[in-house]
Amino acid sequence: MDLDAFAAVHSPDWKRLDVLVARRRLSGPEADELLRLYQRASTHLSIVRSVAPEGTLSAALSMRLSRARTRLTGSRSNFLEDMAFFFVFSLPSAFYRIRWLTVAIGAAFIAVAWLTGFWTVNTPGVLAAVGSDAEMRRYVEEDFVNYYSENPAASFAGMVWTNNAWIAVQAVAFGITGVWVPWILYQNAVNVGLSGGMMAAHDRLDVFFIYILPHGFMELTAIFIASAAGLQIFWTLLAPGRRSRMNALAQEGRSLMTVALGLIVVLFISGLVEGFITPSPLPAWLRLTIGFMVFAAYWVYTLVLGGRAYRAGYRGDLSARDAGASVLTA
């Protein structure tokens, strides 16, 4: 079969199909015509594929039919609408659901870090066990501050972002074990407390807070949020309530993975602060203010927008259509 002749004969139908697909609104007769042309073009595609399945004409017809199929069946949703729904309803309501657990985890973390720092400063032999006087002084006077500026700001921010986002996703995913989250929180709290204790022992506690708080306000909060999400899944495993255990875990898992996705954005912002604000020559008060404003913006977003979405019935789960139905079997 001569494909060029075949295309010349049927191209008016294909062009008419393109015209109808591109129209914003279709009348009843136009919708019927669109369906007829779609069926006709499908037959043409079958014929072309029998001759040249990998040819350009076959690919072009496939694209035409794909657009027509979407026009006939309707796209599931607009991407921008999906994004708006995610950030206005799903994400803030998911954050709101675990707000108290987030606060409790943050309080426990700060308590462990503070006790570790107090123990480091006031217990003889602890600092000596950490390192020699020369190593300690180099850390306090050089290494602690230089860590934030030894790499270009953009690459450092990217490295911090990917590392923290990976930790947050793991906290949500492995929270069901009930062990991973407490262990990783304890390790990090001890490390923060030990670092603060070393700085305090050398009268550099002000430097410690100036360099850790601008990004730490939001970065640590993001880890607390991820940990709260993970522990919420663990608690659902233990106490599913009136739901079946599998259904409860599925619902909580979908809702709280929304948290993990949202935290990627949150940690990107805190990574920018750590890469560009923390080591910057800006006055200490301004760096702290910027960090605190990011932290405050998160809580306003969660408590105001999240509270409103939660009271409207949103929980961060997928829609009923996307989540699917569960069927009880005997």
What is the DSSP track for 188-229?
A: HHHHHHHHHHHHHHTT-HHHHHHHHHHHHHHHHHHHHHHHHH
What 3-state class would DSSP assign to 66? Answer: helix
What letter does residue 177 receive in the DSSP assignment?
Answer: G
Q: How sure is the predictor about 285, in pLDDT bands with cuts at 50, 70 and 90?
A: very high
Please report, rounded to a whole number, the percentage of residues in the chain having pLDDT higher than 90.
31
For 326, what's the count of Cα atoms within 13 Å in the CB-facing half-sphere?
11
State the average pLDDT over residues 17-33.
84
Would you say residue 330 has pLDDT above 50? no
Query: Would you say 96 and 303 are in contact if contact means Cβ atoms under 8 Å apart?
Result: yes
Average pLDDT across the chain, whole number? 84
- In whole angstroms, what is the distance from residue 212 CA to residue 110 CA? 13
Per-residue pLDDT at 325 = 45
Contacts of range 153-161, beta carbons closer than 8 Å, 24 or more positions apart: 153/275, 153/276, 153/279, 154/275, 156/274, 156/275, 157/271, 157/272, 157/274, 157/275, 157/276, 158/271, 158/275, 160/215, 160/219, 160/270, 160/271, 160/274, 160/275, 161/267, 161/268, 161/270, 161/271, 161/272
- In whole angstroms, what is the distance from residue 275 CA to residue 148 CA? 7
52 vs 38, 43, 153, 174, 264, CA distance in Å?
20, 14, 54, 50, 46
- In whole angstroms, what is the distance from residue 277 CA to residue 172 CA? 28
Would you say residue 76 has pLDDT above 60? no
Q: Please tell me which of 24-28, 209-213, 235-239 the model is most confident about, judged by mean pLDDT.
A: 209-213
Which of 56-65, 248-257, 308-317 shows the lowest per-residue confidence on average (mean pLDDT)? Answer: 248-257
Per-residue pLDDT at 306 = 93
What 3-state class would DSSP assign to 245? Answer: helix
What 3-state class would DSSP assign to 85? Answer: helix
Query: Would you say 164 and 267 are in contact if contact means Cβ atoms under 8 Å apart?
Result: yes
Tens digits of residue pLDDT in 78-105: 667 778 888 998 899 999 999 999 999 9
CB atoms within 10 A of CB 253: 19
Which of 139-148, 192-201, 286-295 shows the lowest per-residue confidence on average (mean pLDDT)? Answer: 139-148
Closest CA relative to residue 256, chosen from 93, 84, 103: 93
Q: How sure is the predictor about 327, in pLDDT bands with cuts at 50, 70 and 90?
A: very low
Per-residue pLDDT at 106 = 95
State the average pLDDT over residues 155-180.
81
Per-residue pLDDT at 247 = 77
What letter does residue 27 receive in the DSSP assignment?
Answer: -
Which of 16-25, 74-83, 179-188, 291-300 shows the lowest per-residue confidence on average (mean pLDDT)? Answer: 74-83
Torsion on CA atoms 162, 163, 168, 174, rounded to nearest 10: 120
Q: How sure is the predictor about 74, in pLDDT bands with cuts at 50, 70 and 90?
A: low
Closest CA relative to residue 326, chosen from 246, 208, 256: 246
157 vs 24, 148, 168, 211, CA distance in Å?
44, 10, 16, 15
Closest CA relative to residue 68, chosen from 84, 93, 45: 45
- b/e for 257-269, b at 16 or more Cβ within 10 A? bbbbbbbbebbbb
**At 244, which helix (H) or strand (E)?**
none
Residue type, 237: L
128 vs 38, 45, 114, 145, CA distance in Å?
80, 79, 20, 21
